Amino acid sequence: MSDHAGTHVDVPKHFDPSPGALSIDKMPIEDFYTEAICLDLSYVELKATISVKEMEDALTASGQEIKQGDTVLIYMAFNKRIPFDDPRWQHDFPGLSLEAVHWLADKGSRIFGVEAISPAPEGEPNFQAHNACGKRGITHIEGLDHLEKVVGQRFRFIGFPLRIRDGSGGPMRAVALLERALQSYRPRPLPSPLQRYSRRTCFRRCCSIFDNGVPYRISFNVNSSSFRIFRKYSVW
């Protein structure tokens, strides 16, 4: 599998020729567990280059602000307009201008994300956007989907990439945690008592809790083989 397959993050080694440019296995894991917002740029034309003014207008319309260290996802409705099996999907995507990439870095965002296979339109703008990420010490995620569900909201973004040795990118499963969903959620009974199960059984049982979309955060104590479960987050 390619280190740039599916939903994935590009890392400095992909666009920075410096000998010390970080590969995916050297990237701090906390960079992929951040606060996040999603901006609505769904009105932009295909192949369009998004300006700083359009980014500022989208941020104002969202009612949010970009805080230091935020991940900023950019919804361009690209997957809604061109299906994956259409040849245009690989070429006709809109994206950020060089100035817009610098604007995100100036605002304090360390990672931004798009639906397309590149952060900027095909050709020179894409080359410039990648180089700008290298110069500013930021990076981007490509191949996202369902961003319309989090437009205009602040949420917790989780996108842990595969730890590929010397990789220039890393496939990930991107997740948004929305605490507001808890207001309408009625929790299911928990398996009890968890202490009766072996470590392996407990791990499988707790994984199934997450897979079913139940909003629990689970902490495992390796030394005592015990679990603590907190009803805090919802899984989207």
Residue-wise pLDDT tens digits, 55-72: 999 999 999 999 999 999
Task: Examine the pLDDT at 51 and tell me if it is beyond 90.
Answer: yes
Q: Under CATH, domain 8-177 is a member of which superfamily?
A: Putative cyclase (3.50.30.50)
Q: Where are the domains of the chain?
A: 8-177, 180-231
In terms of pLDDT, which residue wins out, 134 or 51?
51
Look at residue 3 in the predicted model and tell me its pLDDT.
57
Q: Could you read off the pLDDT of 108-166 as tens digits, one per residue?
A: 999 999 999 888 899 888 888 888 888 888 888 989 999 999 999 999 999 888 776 76
Q: How confident is the model at residue 191 (pLDDT cuts 50, 70, 90)?
A: low
Task: Examine the pLDDT at 105 and tell me if it is beyond 50.
Answer: yes
Q: How far is CA 220 from CA 31, 77, 156, in A?
A: 23, 39, 21
Q: Record the tokens describing residue 173, joined without a space.
A: 């499963």
| pTM score | 0.73
The share of the chain scoring above pLDDT 70, in percent, equals 67
Task: Examine the pLDDT at 172 and tell me if it is beyond 90.
Answer: no
Look at residue 60 in the predicted model and tell me its pLDDT.
97
The share of the chain scoring above pLDDT 90, in percent, equals 42
Q: How confident is the model at residue 14 (pLDDT cuts 50, 70, 90)?
A: low
Contacting residues for 180 by C-beta, under 8 A, at least 6 apart: 153
Task: Examine the pLDDT at 185 and tell me if it is beyond 60.
Answer: no
In terms of pLDDT, which residue wins out, 66 or 217?
66
How many residues are listed for the chain in this entry? Answer: 236
